[in-house]
Amino acid sequence: MQLVEESKDKVSKGSLLGVRRVQLFLPGKEDPVVLNAEISDLEGTKGKLKFSGNRNNPKDIAAFKQLADTKQRFNMRIAPYPLIKPEVAIAGWITAAFLFAFYTFGYRYFITDYLNPVRQYIWDSFNDDHIKQPENVKLAEYKNKDLYFKDPVLEINIPLNPADPIHLEIKILSYVITLPFHFVPSYMGQFLKSHAPQIYDKTGKVKNDFPEGTFLGITINCTKTIRHECVWDTVLGKEIETPKN
């Protein structure tokens, strides 16, 4: 995760992270010139290469210097940085979001069978660099620099189109991670009628005249680091105790 973020920062400043293997393909020559170089000052198709003799073949260095003197055009292929594994970084952000949901809701959210695919995905990510994430788990990145969350924010996202599933959104730095959210429908309905009556019509049904994509976002501020019970324990399945006569 840290390497991916560092690499993105480098690219934003016109550089690439680390020493890269660079192949230069010259017109009329089959074998490329191969260099290990640092790359900076990228602008369009232009940039600077910085290399040292102890990490490169002297013949390739000589060929590159000759090429630079003649200012001959060439094609270049830059190898990816070997330690950057985007799929693993994505799994890392999803793991962080999952743990933050646990921090917020506790075991009633964390250990349900409904989330088995998410837990299996996280487990597999420790052994598989190309793990495929579950369909109901997503990660996106905000391009607006004003949307940056130094402290994580967790919201329950309730689409007002009944066909769309209720889910969690965890916002961390410039990322938003979507996780599935299981609940008891009747208890969730009671909560919404109490806290968001404006979304219901006179018959008690959710209004059907909301624009497509409209949702109700509820930010959750409590955490299970302080022992307590709240409405979300009930929504997640805690039985309501009925008074004994």
Count of domains forming the chain: 2
Distance CA 179, CA 5 (A): 22
Residue where a domain terminates, one of 24, 55, 78? 78
Question: Is 245 within the bounds of a domain?
Answer: no
Q: Which H helix or E strand runs over 174?
A: none
| 99 in the same domain as 215 | yes
Residue where a domain terminates, one of 78, 110, 134? 78
| 122 in the same domain as 66 | no
Q: What is the pLDDT of residue 245?
A: 55
Distance CA 39, CA 47 (A): 7
Q: Which residue has the higher pLDDT, 42 or 104?
A: 104
| Closest by CA position to 238, among listed 100, 107, 99 | 107
| 140 in the same domain as 172 | yes
| 91 in the same domain as 73 | no
Q: What's the chain's Rg over C-alpha atoms? A: 26
Tell me the percentage of the chain whose pLDDT exceeds 90.
21
Determine the distance from the C-alpha atom of residue 41 to the mean position of all C-alpha atoms in its chain, rounded to a whole number: 28
Q: What is the pLDDT of residue 145?
A: 77
Q: What is the pLDDT of residue 227?
A: 86
Does residue 60 carry a pLDDT above 60? yes
Over residues 99-157, the pLDDT tens digits come to 999 999 999 898 888 899 999 999 988 887 778 888 889 988 887 778 889 999 999 99
Q: What is the pLDDT of residue 244?
A: 61
| 146 in the same domain as 94 | yes
Query: Is the pTM of the predicted complex or chain greater than 0.85?
Result: no
Question: Is 243 within the bounds of a domain?
Answer: no
Alpha helices in 50-172 (DSSP H): 58-70, 86-105, 107-110, 116-124
Please answer whether residues 175 and 156 qualify as being in contact, where contact means their C-beta atoms are separated by less than 8 angstroms. no
Question: Is 8 within the bounds of a domain?
Answer: yes
Query: Domain range spanning residue 98?
Result: 86-235
Does residue 7 carry a pLDDT above 70? yes
**DSSP helix/strand/coil, 106:** coil
Q: Which H helix or E strand runs over 20?
A: strand 20-25
- Listed in sequence order, the residues at least 6 apart from 174 whose beta carbon sits closer than 8 Å to its beta carbon are 141, 142, 147, 148, 149
Residue where a domain terminates, one of 56, 78, 100? 78
Over residues 147-192, the pLDDT tens digits come to 889 999 999 998 887 778 899 999 998 899 999 999 998 999 888 8
Question: Is 244 within the bounds of a domain?
Answer: no
| 90 in the same domain as 21 | no
Backbone dihedral angles phi then psi of residue 6, each to the nearest 5 degrees: -65, -40
Please answer whether residues 136 and 181 qualify as being in contact, where contact means their C-beta atoms are separated by less than 8 angstroms. no
